């Protein structure tokens, strides 16, 4: 008999599939979708997410590191798998052996790929990463011509695509996004016929806020998991079918206690009860990805009602004020992320309490708890 934690993350595959279909409709039926499943699919389980999306037609996946891509291949994931963040020199053979697609941002890497492909008697398609204004990975525009010259001299590689990334597409009013897109399109024009394949720059923000940038392929990340890149504003602005959050996070009450007025709660007594207070002790803390900065800010759902977190969140526990919520007992369900009754707490709301973004919330919670996949009505 397996002993399970009090805490559980539940992923709804129907939500993932619905979000994929909404994204395809937004981008256009002819546009390819690269599902970004890096960071263990933003905490949603990379392998299960890949299989879930493949079942509705996804044939292209993106990860950050080579190890993630190899894991997918070994698990039987078909289709094209992009390695977006490079790889160490000693692992170059893995790219060829597992038929992966490398994103290249240095001439030296291009040469190593060509040598490995030549040894294997293969020809490898690479995607050139260009920096169109983010100042992160990628060749600067004035370096592209030199790269293309090297490419012509290497017989075992060819340019299968050109890729860049937006830095401000989560802001619908950003002028930077279209400026970045103009830089990208000029680079693509410079590359011209040397590129046999696709041009792709649009992330979730590009798809939903700047649809003209969708190009040949889009790379949705956060939107696959049910969240808009601009948070609650994007959800309020959305027309038609809305994205459906795929993750929920639940726990149980492990003790109910009543403490008198003037009692200090948790480490440092950062909360002093102003009245006789009933507290529910919940076995969730920062070890579980429930950030300490949520102390005295967050709320949870118990019996369909909101209960405020009181005092500092500990490594493995936190306390919620259930004064006024009748009938709370040990073993009752606590929803930290998701719906209960008529109310729901979203990753956007948790992010607003923590001063961060939904991406971080999902990664922290998803990657630090037992996960189950369960079909639920949406």
- Give the bridge partners for 286, in sequence order: none
Of the chain, the percentage scoring pLDDT greater than 90 comes to 94
Rounded to an integer, what distance in angstroms lies between the CA atom of residue 305 and that of residue 325?
Answer: 7
Residue keyed to tokens 């707490």: 345
Query: Is the predicted pLDDT of residue 156 greater than 70, yes or no?
Result: yes
Any domain includes 355: no
Query: Is the predicted pLDDT of residue 360 greater than 70, yes or no?
Result: yes
**Residue (of 206, 195, 218) closest to 29 by Cα position:** 218
| Main-chain phi, psi angles of 320, to 5 degrees | -120, 140
**Are residues 64 and 205 located together in one domain of the fold?**
yes
**Are residues 231 and 252 located together in one domain of the fold?**
no
**Are residues 185 and 325 located together in one domain of the fold?**
no
Rounded to an integer, what distance in angstroms lies between the CA atom of residue 25 and that of residue 143?
Answer: 36
CATH for 221: 3.20.20.10
Structural domain containing residue 282: 247-345
pLDDT digits (tens, 9 = 90+) for 88-103: 999 999 999 999 999 9
Any domain includes 1: no
Question: Is the alpha carbon torsion for 276, 281, 282, 288 positive or negative?
Answer: positive
Any domain includes 229: yes
Confidence of residue 196 (pLDDT cuts 50, 70, 90): confident
Number of neighbours of residue 236 by Cβ within 10 angstroms: 10
Domain termination residue (choose one: 236, 259, 287): 236
pLDDT digits (tens, 9 = 90+) for 249-283: 999 999 999 999 999 999 999 999 999 999 999 99
Compute CA distances 167 → 49, 105, 135, 180, whole Å.
26, 18, 9, 9
pLDDT at 193: 83
Cβ atoms of 228 and 206 closer than 8 Å: no
pLDDT at 186: 95
pLDDT digits (tens, 9 = 90+) for 40-86: 999 999 999 999 999 999 999 999 999 999 999 999 999 999 999 99
Question: Would residue 122 show up in a list of annotated catalytic residues for this protein?
Answer: no
pLDDT at 321: 98
**Strand, coil or helix: what is 369?**
coil
Any domain includes 304: yes
The DSSP line for 26-64 is HH-TTSEEEEE-HHHHHHT-HHHHHHHHHTTT--EEEES
Angle between helices 176-191 and 144-152 (to 10 degrees): 30
**Are residues 52 and 16 located together in one domain of the fold?**
yes
Query: Is the predicted pLDDT of residue 195 greater than 80, yes or no?
Result: no
**Strand, coil or helix: what is 277?**
strand
Any domain includes 336: yes
Cβ atoms of 311 and 319 closer than 8 Å: yes
Any domain includes 373: no
Number of structural domains in the chain? 2
Confidence of residue 240 (pLDDT cuts 50, 70, 90): confident
Q: Determine which one of 18, 38, 42, 227 is catalytic.
A: 38
pTM value is 0.96
Rounded to an integer, what distance in angstroms lies between the CA atom of residue 81 and that of residue 240?
Answer: 31
Domain termination residue (choose one: 181, 204, 236): 236
pLDDT digits (tens, 9 = 90+) for 290-333: 999 999 999 999 999 999 999 999 999 999 999 999 999 999 99
Residue keyed to tokens 């009748």: 326
| Main-chain phi, psi angles of 81, to 5 degrees | -120, 120
CATH for 285: 2.40.37.10
**Are residues 130 and 260 located together in one domain of the fold?**
no
Confidence of residue 1 (pLDDT cuts 50, 70, 90): low
**Residue (of 126, 4, 37, 16) closest to 373 by Cα position:** 16
Query: Is the predicted pLDDT of residue 192 greater than 90, yes or no?
Result: no
**Are residues 97 and 163 located together in one domain of the fold?**
yes
**Are residues 87 and 122 located together in one domain of the fold?**
yes
Structure tokens at 310: 């009181």
The DSSP line for 87-113 is --GGGHHHHHHTT-EEEE--HHHHHHH
**Are residues 253 and 195 located together in one domain of the fold?**
no
What's the number of CA atoms in the CB half-sphere (13 Å) around residue 356?
16
* CA dihedral of 179, 182, 184, 190, whole degrees rounded to 10: -150
Question: Would residue 91 show up in a list of annotated catalytic residues for this protein?
Answer: no
Q: Which residues contact 99 (CB under 8 A, 6 or more apart)?
A: 73
- Give the bridge partners for 35, in sequence order: 61
Any domain includes 19: yes
Residue keyed to tokens 């990657």: 367
Cα 154 to chain centroid distance, Å, stands at 35
pLDDT at 268: 98
**Are residues 261 and 337 located together in one domain of the fold?**
yes
Cα 71 to chain centroid distance, Å, stands at 18
**Strand, coil or helix: what is 152?**
helix
pLDDT digits (tens, 9 = 90+) for 13-30: 999 999 999 999 999 999
pLDDT at 197: 81
Number of neighbours of residue 193 by Cβ within 10 angstroms: 6
Q: Which residues contact 354 (CB under 8 A, 6 or more apart)?
A: 291, 293, 294, 297, 298, 360, 361
Any domain includes 208: yes
């Amino acid at each position: 008999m397996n002993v399970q934690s009090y805490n559980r993350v539940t992923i709804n595959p129907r939500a993932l599939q619905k979000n994929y279909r909404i994204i395809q409709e937004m981008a256009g039926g002819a546009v390819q979708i690269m599902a970004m499943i890096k960071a263990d699919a933003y905490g949603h389980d990379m392998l299960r997410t890949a299989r879930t999306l493949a079942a509705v037609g996804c044939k292209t996946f993106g990860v950050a590191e080579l190890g993630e891509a190899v894991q997918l291949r070994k698990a039987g994931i078909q289709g094209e798998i992009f390695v977006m963040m490079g790889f160490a020199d000693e692992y170059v053979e893995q790219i060829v052996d597992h038929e992966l697609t490398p994103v290249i941002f240095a001439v030296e890497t291009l040469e190593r790929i060509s040598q490995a492909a030549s040894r294997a008697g293969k020809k490898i398609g690479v995607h050139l990463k260009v920096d169109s204004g983010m100042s992160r990975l990628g060749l600067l525009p004035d370096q592209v011509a030199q790269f293309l010259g090297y490419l012509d001299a290497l017989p075992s590689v060819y340019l299968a695509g050109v890729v860049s990334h937006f830095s401000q597409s989560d802001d619908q009013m950003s002028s930077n996004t279209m400026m970045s897109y103009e830089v990208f399109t000029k680079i693509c024009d410079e590359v011209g016929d040397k590129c046999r394949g696709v041009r792709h720059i649009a992330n979730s923000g590009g798809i939903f806020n700047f649809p003209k940038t969708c190009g040949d392929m889009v790379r949705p990340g956060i939107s696959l998991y049910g969240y808009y890149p601009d948070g609650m504003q994007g959800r309020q602005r959305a027309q038609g079918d809305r994205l459906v959050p795929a993750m929920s996070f639940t726990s149980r009450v492990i003790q109910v206690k009543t403490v008198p007025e003037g009692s200090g709660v948790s480490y440092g007594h950062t909360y002093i009860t102003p009245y006789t207070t009933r507290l529910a002790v919940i076995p969730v803390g920062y070890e579980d990805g429930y950030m300490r900065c949520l102390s005295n800010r967050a709320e949870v759902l118990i019996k369909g009602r909101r209960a405020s977190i009181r005092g500092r969140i500990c490594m493995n526990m936190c306390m919620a004020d259930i004064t006024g919520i009748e009938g709370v007992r040990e073993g009752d369900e606590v929803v930290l992320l998701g719906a209960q009754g008529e109310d729901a707490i979203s990753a956007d709301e948790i992010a607003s309490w923590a001063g961060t973004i939904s991406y971080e919330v999902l990664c922290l919670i998803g990657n630090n708890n037992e996960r189950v996949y369960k079909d639920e009505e949406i």
